[in-house]
Structure 1
């Protein structure tokens, strides 16, 4: 299980029309020049970087998966994206780093993983979603390759991110504390029992 995390993209956001060529130094750009029309939120066969950057600028998240990744992992990844926020883009993408199958992009940030780690992705989404340079909730006009339209999760403005997701690490903490407390009580009971047995055997 591997994670590659980068938070260092700081290219200038400039709108470029179709007549202007765009080049990116990173295969997973999260800021920089992009097309004026941003995508309708939802799942796509493919979305080019110059379109998804505009969605990131508005605070959306982009969920990319390698088409050769495990189908069950892809299914889990898509379900996680749909349950986190309405402003999401899901698409297949082949230019992920070697050994990595999934990526979650936010404005000027990215999280790249070899496996779908639900807790990590959820925490990342909660900390990075809606942090774009512009606060725009509406859909764009670009929809080439759209497979499935995104649906509202909490409300149109995504006031709560990943509302149904359970952060396993935080969920387990009270259980672990309870378990440690129970273990302590059990040890104390064993000590008391041993002391009673010692006294009993001493009398005999």
Structure 2
């Protein structure tokens, strides 16, 4: 073989051995873009700001003291403040009697949403509320005498009042505040506490 032919073969061998694997690069680049897009979308879903909830009442600076005595709260039902050391079980629990505020408030501190209704609420409306609470961890439902709206949803420092059980603000409130960012003790239990009204 002539010297020029050998040089040509050597150049072809070098080019063949060092050329990038474009198919593999394109494949892994595509996979990487898909993974980044999925992670970005998940992060956006997790951290996107909650939509404004009409009529939302917010209260900051609520005390978290444990007390053994009755507490006079400034809202009915309360949405936070000093409370009993034992929380009310809020594992999708429906209570047919009023709860002691001090136990329910402790559940709010753990991230629960407390559904309350004024006694005399139509049975169809009550059934809709029960269906939202039963099987939904970190929720509880009970009647509250003298509340000024047919239905009230309370979380720690957050509250909304509605007239009907199919009001869209109920689902928005649950999405925003059930174990939400306002929770003073995230990860705390909602069972193993007080089981009776």
TM-score for the superposition, normalised by structure 1: 0.62
CA distance in structure 1 between the aligned counterparts of 2:133 and 2:193, rounded to whole angstroms? 21
Are residue 121 (structure 1) and residue 173 (structure 2) matched?
Answer: no
Instruction: Indicate the residue corresponding to 1:110 in structure 2.
Output: 159
CA distance in structure 2 between the aligned counterparts of 1:127 and 1:13, rounded to whole angstroms? 21
Q: CA deviation at 1:89?
A: 1.1
Instruction: Indicate the residue corresponding to 1:50 in structure 2.
Output: 102
Are residue 88 (structure 1) and residue 151 (structure 2) matched?
Answer: no
Are residue 74 (structure 1) and residue 126 (structure 2) matched?
Answer: yes
CA distance in structure 2 between the aligned counterparts of 1:115 and 1:107, rounded to whole angstroms? 22
Aligned length: 138
CA distance in structure 2 between the aligned counterparts of 1:9 and 1:64, rounded to whole angstroms? 21
Instruction: Indicate the residue corresponding to 1:130 in structure 2.
Output: 179
Residues 30 and 9 of structure 1: CA distance in aligned 2, closer, same or farther (over 3 Å): farther
CA RMSD across the alignment: 1.7
TM-score for the superposition, normalised by structure 2: 0.64
What is the DSSP-based 3-state SS (H/G/I as helix, E as strand, rest coil) of the residue aligned with 2:104?
Answer: helix
Unpaired runs of 5+ residues, structure 2, are: 1-53
Unpaired runs of 5+ residues, structure 1, are: 146-204
Structure of larger gyration radius: 2
CA distance in structure 2 between the aligned counterparts of 1:9 and 1:53, rounded to whole angstroms? 15
Residues 138 and 5 of structure 1: CA distance in aligned 2, closer, same or farther (over 3 Å): closer
Please point out which of 66, 78, 86 is paired with 1:37: 86
CA distance in structure 1 between the aligned counterparts of 2:190 and 2:70, rounded to whole angstroms? 27
Task: Point out 4+ residue stretches in structure 1 off by more than 6 angstroms.
Answer: none
**C-alpha contact 2:112 2:179 (8 A) present in aligned 1:** yes
Please point out which of 62, 65, 68 is paired with 2:117: 65
